[in-house]
Structure 1
């Protein structure tokens, strides 16, 4: 029987894809008959209760974000916090320690870490300098401390092995999945949520994700501006996402689009509203430049919503043949695909059908099973 410590620092506001992964994995591990004891490490506290992310920010969030951008603060954090975590788990040395968000405290035996992507190495300009400075140093340490590594996709598995010259047999792919909340809903069931946002069922296109450079939202805005006035008015672009960083110019374009009537920026949307937004969308658009997996495209397909996304990194692996794929910077292709989904009902129905089939290949149970495989291998 296995004893496991799952780190849950990433289950917090705003809930990102990594936070969703940790939460859904934690739920499945709680029900796994091969685990005799499962505890959660949140900050420096250990609990048998899986945390739930808050839906609103705390008063100190703004200050925290400013401090995260500081190189000095990053250095202090890097030197002290990992050791404090080591002390917090010092009495659990017979347990497997799993970090679903890269970091492993020093001196941790039987450690497993999930690497979601290598963007801080390949695309450091997509992150705040303080984050890059911290993550590059700590991720190299994690490579030395981990017995086994997990990745969300085969793309990242191969990338990780090649970049660090790491034994690929010690890297296990455990694909993510959409939660059970994402499924097609009828018009009556979603009307109250859509009304609250001023939206009409199947009369908008959706993007969800943090507003940051890696997500390539600028290409999406440029593609939308090329649509006819009639299409833009009838099918506005709805953007849901936490304000990330280096987004001042984008937010100005958001304001311009909202004034002209073809864009609605919702800001951070509570997780309980997202399945309704996905189900009501005419299509989901995701032009990201770099993804270790790309959970939103899977959530869209499970919701019965056609997907238009970039053909970059892991995304083709996730969507298979069910989506319309374009080069991340090909504005014209994204515009053409938007028109195609709107104007071609046969294409739309095929994408919905193929999307269901593709989403059905992924499950949190499979993710948990592959994770258990990694745990056992860490003990060998």
Structure 2
């Protein structure tokens, strides 16, 4: 049997959960069904299939590249050029730009403003131009303003209380303008001329044009893109059939139906439907393509009963086309004491720490976890540290501000860029893992913690309680006091931790990749278009 497989996860970052699921399944399928062959389907939009990603497989698949991704929304003209300029007393003046170690600096050099000085730039809502839920109208992010004259130089921080007109609230190390930010005249000394330097740390993607001509032009471009895509899909289907493929297994990255092949799909969750506030406009539009594949698929493999139920109730797929295959553990496993000690020293952690793992974004509930930790630690003499491991997602600045403003920098460590070996060691050395996510289709950190023999605190919602069984303390993820009580219970009760740890590996053993792969391959062998 030859199966065409969505290779998008092997073109992206290799630390993501979807990548680990693909690796676990494909390697297990090679063991339990050696007669099955996988052909990788890759879209050049994601770049080349990465050699370091392929190194995680026990076999080397053939790869076929085609531009087949369905564009979301309409084609639009966008730019990353911020077009900063100064407006001095109602007149736009020449602007000089220099590069700084952490961004760029725009300069105005001339007569001191008498009435008004504006920093103008392009502005856009990230929810319209980027994959972000942020609906603020953002210009540029400034870090400081420097004014020089023959009386000397004075620096004004981004969080100066006098910066009011045209600014959003300060963030961790910068402040966004709205595209027309006023620089107060009181910043200037009584001089005839001055040099103003505005230091820019960040910018966004901006819409370039939105006139009637542009909409007509976009429509023509979109039609041409779709026509080319349809041709590429037909050619891809023909080539794959000639290579002997009978089914295409879609994943999150390349959700397409290939002419002439049966269609199967992974289903990880439907969270963009249930909680659209956690996702940007692009992500929601892209997920509409995934939903379309769910509706057209001959069979869908769900990572949990929760995901299966959500698809039935929210997408309208008939139950007989859905199989709960579950998934197995990723590349995380227990590590011996010397390896654990080395990781603890490497990341500067204290011996007793609580571990949280997950992308730093609102759905993972880091803000409530830190608030609960702060509440808990105030009631004990020697609280354990809280170590948060995850790549930076949207909303990360809110977490950073909370830690700083609560005086928790010494107690809460945020770690990024942690590889699987170090992560396994950090799991193995933790007192327990706290994972009170708002919603998950599966919740891999719960399984990873149990696979390392570590007790868990997690949400009493959806799949997480099904995975944890009796090896976890369950809390209400929307209640800070409930999370704080769970932290207190697990931190102070060593007998409870020992009891849960003894059950953890047994609970984790229910999830086995060989069993998952056999279930999926058996179904695929009977799937025909």
TM-score normalised by the chain length of structure 2: 0.63
Q: In the TM superposition, what are the counterparts of 1:194-213 in structure 2 within 5 Å? A: 194-201=344-351, 203-213=352-362
Q: Deviations along 1:20-77, whole A, 9 cap, x unmatched?
A: 1012112222334353422222334998986258xxxxxxxxx8x975457999x97x
Aligned partners of 2:508, 2:227: CA distance in 1, in Å? 42
Aligned pairs for 1:1-380 (under 5 A) are 2-11=1-10, 12-13=12-13, 15-33=15-33, 35-44=35-44, 51=54, 67-69=130-132, 83=230, 84=232, 87-88=235-236, 90-93=238-241, 94-101=245-252, 103-108=254-259, 109-136=261-288, 138-179=289-330, 181-183=332-334, 185-201=335-351, 203-229=352-378, 231=380, 234-256=383-405, 260-379=409-528
Q: What is the alpha-carbon root mean square deviation over aligned residues?
A: 3.1
Cα distance in 2 for residues equivalent to 1:375 and 1:282: 42
Identify, as 1 or 2, the structure richer in helix.
Answer: 1
Q: Distance in 2 between matches of 1:153 and 1:287?
A: 18
Offset of 1:378 from its aligned partner? 2.0
CA deviations on 1:274-332 (whole Å, 9 max, x unpaired) are: 10110011110011111000011000011111100011111111111211001111211
SS state of the match for residue 237, structure 1?
A: strand
* Cα distance in 2 for residues equivalent to 1:364 and 1:324: 26
Secondary structure, counterpart of 1:107 in structure 2: coil
Rounded to whole Å, the distance in 1 between the matches of 2:308 and 2:206 is 30
Secondary structure of the corresponding residue to residue 175 of structure 1: coil
SS at match of 1:378: coil
Q: CA deviation at 1:144?
A: 3.6
- Equivalent pairs counted in the alignment come to 365
Greater strand proportion: 2
Consecutive unaligned residues in structure 1, runs of 5 or more:
54-62
Counterpart Cα distance in 2 of 1:38 and 1:30? 9
Q: Say which one has the larger Rg.
A: 2
Q: Secondary structure at the match of 1:31?
A: helix
CA change 1:31–1:72 in 2 (3 A) is farther
- Structure 1 residues 72 and 133: CA distance shift in structure 2, 3 A: farther
Query: Does structure 2 retain, via aligned residues, the 8 Å contact 1:254–1:265?
Result: no
Structure-2 separation of matches of 1:268 and 1:86: 40
Contact 2:130 2:280 in 1 (8 A): no
**What is the match of residue 57 of structure 1?**
none
Q: Structure 1 residue 166: deviation in Å? A: 1.5
